[in-house]
Structure 1
Amino acid sequence: MVLKLYGWPKSTCTQRVGLALIEKKVPFEFIMVDLFKGESKTPEYLAKQPFGQVPYIDDDGFILYESRAICRYIAEKYGNQGPNLLPTKDVKSRAMFEQAASIETSDFDMFASKAVFEMIFKPMMGGKSDEAVFQDLVTTLSNKLAVYDKILGKQKYLAGDDITLADLFHIPYGVLLSAAGTDVMQARPNVKRWFNDLTSRPSWNAVKDGVSSTA
């Protein structure tokens, strides 16, 4: 049975899972959940994803939600395909990955997602962007990325010299920061080199305009 990915084609979390599936060369069927029609809030959907969010996967009856958890599952299950995105060779390499993954969650996504929401998603929902809130978030994120620049001055990727899920997790919101009105991902040389490397990967080119089936 082909793995099924349920989501909204251009949602950041759906794209995150799409990236992992394509990197690991896993064929999948994409099933669109129309957020604007409330399809993520139906009883049938909530039975699979109780928070009413996207995405979730159905892997031959195994249901899993939360994009980062899904990506880890894919990387581990299909470890012999594509790049090794989830280091398992020794406890230290796995610890370095978990450190990088924690950095993405605590020092990047926490601020990048809110900045993007303020300028892009909030107006889409009928609200009004607050420029002061946005600038405050960007300032904090810029300070965080100054530390990234130091880390990436010593190694190619966040967990070492090999790409991992922790790097890929940054792409969807990192790209949207530019659309939100900030060049923060291009402002420092090592961050710029790293992020341009990530966004030039075929996996991002495959999902940047919307996730679609590969099977």
Structure 2
Amino acid sequence: MAIKVHGVPVSTCTAGVLLCLHEKGLHYELLPVDLAAGAHKQDPYLSLNPFGQIPAVEDGEFSLFESRAINRYLARKHKDIGTDLLRANSLPESALVETWMEVEAHQFHGPATAILHEIIVNPMYGIASNEQTIETEMEKLGKVLDVYEERLSKYKYLAGENYTLADLQHIPNLVYFMKTTKAEAITCRPHVRAWWDDISSRPATLKVSANMKLI
């Protein structure tokens, strides 16, 4: 039975789940949610996610929301097929995966999404970008990327020598970020750039990013 994914492919959170599904080689059905009509804020969608956000998934009788939780669930349930995204057979390795997933969630995600909101989302609604906000958030992001540069000078991927969810979770925001004038924040750091060149060229990334057409 195919896993049902409720969301839209341009959504970074939906894209993150699709990346995981492709890395695992799992069959899924993408069920578009009409955001313009507010379907995510109404029943029956609210029965899947009471907070009215996308995505949500149905795996048989089991449903789940929050993209990072979904990816952990998929990676654990299907740990023996596809890409080993959690390194579950090694406690130290799995702990590093969890650590760098937390870094993405609490250090990288905030400034990255704030920048994308100002550069991409606001203009879509006729709202001028706030350059001061962009500058402030770029400074925050730069500090995070400096840490990444140091880390990636020693390891191929954030959690070590294997591609994991710690890397995957960065991809959706970076797909859009790399299309902006701020992409130099990645390209000016050689180890971060090499990391991005690697993870952005994976077959799963190419398939999912092809449908991320906001810009």
TM-score, normalization by structure 2: 0.94
| Cross-structure match for 2:200 | 199
- How far apart are residue 113 of structure 1 and its match? 0.8
Q: Which amino acid aligns with 2:202?
A: R
CA RMSD of aligned residues (A): 1.2
- Of 121-130 and 21-30, the range deviating more from structure 2: 121-130
- Of 175-184 and 39-48, the range deviating more from structure 2: 175-184
| Separation of aligned partners in 2, 1:9 and 1:90 | 33
Structure 1 outlier segments of 4+, above 4 Å:
none
Matches within 5 A, 1:88-127: 88-127=88-127
| Cross-structure match for 1:140 | 140
Higher relative contact order (CA 8 A, sep 6+): 1
Contact 1:17 1:67 in 2 (8 A): yes
Contact 1:4 1:59 in 2 (8 A): yes
Contact 2:175 2:209 in 1 (8 A): no
Contact 2:17 2:70 in 1 (8 A): yes
| Cross-structure match for 1:66 | 66
| Cross-structure match for 1:161 | 161
| Separation of aligned partners in 2, 1:64 and 1:51 | 12
Q: Which amino acid aligns with 1:207?
A: V
- Of 180-189 and 65-74, the range deviating more from structure 2: 180-189
Superposed CA offset, 1:186-215 (max 9, x none): 12000000011000001011111328xxxx
> May I ask how many residue pairs the two structures share in their alignment?
211
Q: Which amino acid aligns with 1:186?
A: T
| Separation of aligned partners in 1, 2:73 and 2:192 | 28
| Separation of aligned partners in 2, 1:180 and 1:37 | 29
- Call closer, same or farther: CA 1:46–1:125 in 2, change over 3 Å: farther
Q: Which runs of 5+ in 2 are unaligned?
A: none
Residue 186 (1) aligns with residue 191 (2): no
Superposed CA offset, 1:65-85 (max 9, x none): 000111111111111111110
| Cross-structure match for 1:57 | 57
- How far apart are residue 152 of structure 1 and its match? 0.3
Equivalent residue of 2:31, what SS? strand
Q: Which amino acid aligns with 1:197?
A: D
Residue 171 (1) aligns with residue 157 (2): no
| Cross-structure match for 1:81 | 81
Q: Which runs of 5+ in 1 are unaligned?
A: none
- Of 118-127 and 130-139, the range deviating more from structure 2: 118-127
- How far apart are residue 181 of structure 1 and its match? 2.3
Contact 1:118 1:129 in 2 (8 A): yes
| Separation of aligned partners in 2, 1:78 and 1:95 | 19
Contact 1:111 1:137 in 2 (8 A): yes
| Separation of aligned partners in 2, 1:71 and 1:125 | 31
- How far apart are residue 3 of structure 1 and its match? 0.8
